[in-house]
Amino acid sequence: MRSGKWKFRIINGAGAGSPAPRRRFGFGRSAAAEPRRGSEGRGGIVGGWIFLILLSIGAYVAAQLPPPERTVTGELQGAATASDGDSLRLGGRRIRLEGIDAPEIGQACRRGEATWNCGEEARERLKTLVSGLATSCRLHGHDRYGRDLGVCEAGQRDLGREMVLSGHAVSYGRYQNEEDAAREGRVGIWSGDFVRPQAWRQSNGGVEEMPHDTGDWSGLVLQWLEEQVRVIFRRIVYGG
């Protein structure tokens, strides 16, 4: 050292006065880089699971929303009579209770070794619900048989809801929560074995009837959410 100054010399095979050497950086794989990559992969999987959980929560919330009413095409009120477990006669018109499907007259269900006429029992249950009470119905078009589709009440009770909740009918576009409750409580047809009315009609030469369209926008939301759940799940499991 002279005059208190530092002198630096870069030894790189170049002579004095050569340009400063360029520093080169490699981007190849190294042992140190691998753990970081694995950490990023795990982070992606965790993020995917979080998104999947959020979508599932969204699907659950959408399922709890009540279906919006369809356009009302008419209203009826008066004394009603039960034709079977899911249809009425009111004001000279045939009304199919919207969103439910009850066992057909003559359809048998089973409890253990015994069979019982669950179709007739469903009619008796609906007959009891409307007996001595004024029934009011909001109509929403017609089914394929020309019957009015309607949501009906008697004594301020939704008849479709009561039929499904008591286990005398199943959900058919509405009342899924009520069906779940009846199944868990093992009431009505859920107390034994039965064939869903739609399947029974098909096996006995009946005409296929599609579940009633309630105009439920939440159903579209649920379909979209379910598709997103499937996509995310495939990405998490198969990595693509």
Q: Where are the domains of the chain?
A: 36-67+216-240, 74-214
Question: Does residue 212 surpass a pLDDT of 90?
Answer: no
Q: Kindly state the percentage of the chain with pLDDT values over 70.
A: 58
User: What's residue 176's pLDDT?
Assistant: 93
User: What's residue 216's pLDDT?
Assistant: 47
- What is the phi-psi region of residue 2: left when phi exceeds 0, alpha when psi lies from -120 to 50, beta otherwise? beta
CB atoms within 10 A of CB 214: 21
**pLDDT tens per residue across span 35-78:** 455 555 565 566 667 776 776 676 666 556 555 556 888 899 99
**Sign of the CA dihedral 196, 197, 202, 204?**
positive
Residue 37: CB partners within 8 Å, gap ≥ 6? none
Please tell me the pTM assigned to this model: 0.61
More confident residue, 121 or 22: 121
Q: How far apart are CA 109 and CA 116, in angstroms?
A: 5
Task: Domain 74-214: give its CATH code.
Answer: 2.40.50.90
**pLDDT tens per residue across span 117-176:** 999 999 999 999 999 999 999 999 888 888 999 999 999 999 999 999 999 999 998 999
